[in-house]
Chain A
Amino acid sequence: MENFLEQMAELFEVDSVNLQDEVIAFDAWDSLTGLSIIALADDEYGITITVNDILEAKTIQGLYALFNQKK
């Protein structure tokens, strides 16, 4: 979990993230950040997700659940 939160902070270009933070509320959220999350999911978690999956997940917690649900 800690590693996941660090990875999210890196991609959203902030010092740290909270589980309840909304994905689209980050200043750094854009289509390229979306692609970065998809690439991370593929590279490090071995799962295939879409931008829609990310948007539906809504929050960092949702993304964490998404990553683990598809694992």
Chain B
Amino acid sequence: MLFNPVSLLDKRYLITGAASGLGKATSILLSKLGAELILVDIDEEGLNDTSKMCSSNVIKVIINLYDISDLKAKIIDSVSKFGKLNGFVHLAGRPYISPLKSINEKTTTEVFMLNTYVGIELAKICTNRKIFAGESGSLVFISSVYGLVGSAANVGYAMSKSALHGVTKSLAIELAPKNIRVNCIAPGFIKTNMLQKISDSFNSEYNDTLTKLHPLGLGEADDVANSVAFLLSDMSKWITGSIMSVDGGFTAQ
């Protein structure tokens, strides 16, 4: 058998946002590497699509991530049927483009809840002895270049993503004694539906400007999925608390 250091055979992970975009691409790749997956999203149809494209054992769980008590109950129930988890990838998230003068508390709180706090709750649930498989522990958060550098009309989103960097580093220290690693990927702009929706609200120059921000061009969902696979695998067993820039050179400038 060929040596495959990123093999995820006999490993189990929970993937949020699995119905589309980065979550879909990541689920398909992890599945190809042998991982068994709990696919989580609120979009049932999208989950069915992702599930059909996965080659390993997967289960679909429809969850409204804003409902924390439901999240916990459904994870516990899924794990009792599926087996204990080695970790999770929190890919669910939402953008929030708003200049300072139009920012509002309700939306900002919702953005923080989904992009950031749900990640903390997932960590709390999935590192409990009743849920964690006890070995090869790895948690991966997804932030953004805008968690690292500034841009106008982005303060709410930037808050939620930069907060994940602090979460990553704090949990890396707290969970190291349990041998659970915690890392974060900060992607540049990826060609997904979420980006398309944002681009549509601007003129065509916006797309040119975006492309120029990335010396290697815009990214593919697989570029992020590959990095997730590396951070979940034992190939990265000495890496914890890191913020990995996967951005085509965006933040190198």
Q: Is A13 an interface residue (CB 8 A)?
A: yes
Q: Is the CB of B177 within 8 A of A13?
A: no
A3 to B196, CA, bound (A): 48
Q: Is B129 an interface residue (CB 8 A)?
A: yes
- A-contacting residues, B78-130, CB 8 Å: 128-130
Q: Mark B162-190, 1 if CB is under 8 A from A, else 0.
A: 00000000000010010000000000000
How many residues of chain A are within 8 Å of chain B by beta carbon?
A: 7
Q: Which residues of A contact B177 (CB under 8 A)?
A: 30
Q: Is the CB of A13 within 8 A of B174?
A: no
Q: Is the CB of B130 within 8 A of A15?
A: yes
Q: Which residues of B contact A32 (CB under 8 A)?
A: 174
In the complex, the chain B residue whose C-beta lies closest to that of A12 is: B129
Q: Is A27 an interface residue (CB 8 A)?
A: yes
- B-contacting residues, A1-58, CB 8 Å: 13-15, 27-28, 30, 32
A15 to B129, CA, bound (A): 10
In the complex, the chain A residue whose C-beta lies closest to that of B128 is: A13
* A7 shortest CB reach to chain B, Å: 14
Q: Which residues of A contact B130 (CB under 8 A)?
A: 13-15
Q: Is the CB of B174 within 8 A of A28?
A: no
In the complex, the chain A residue whose C-beta lies closest to that of B127 is: A13
* B35 shortest CB reach to chain A, Å: 24
Q: Which residues of A contact B128 (CB under 8 A)?
A: 13
Extra contacts, 7 of them, besides A13-B128, A13-B129, A14-B130 (Cβ < 8 A), are A13-B130, A14-B129, A15-B130, A27-B129, A28-B129, A30-B177, A32-B174
What are 10 pairs between A and B in contact, CB < 8 Å?
A13-B128, A13-B129, A13-B130, A14-B129, A14-B130, A15-B130, A27-B129, A28-B129, A30-B177, A32-B174
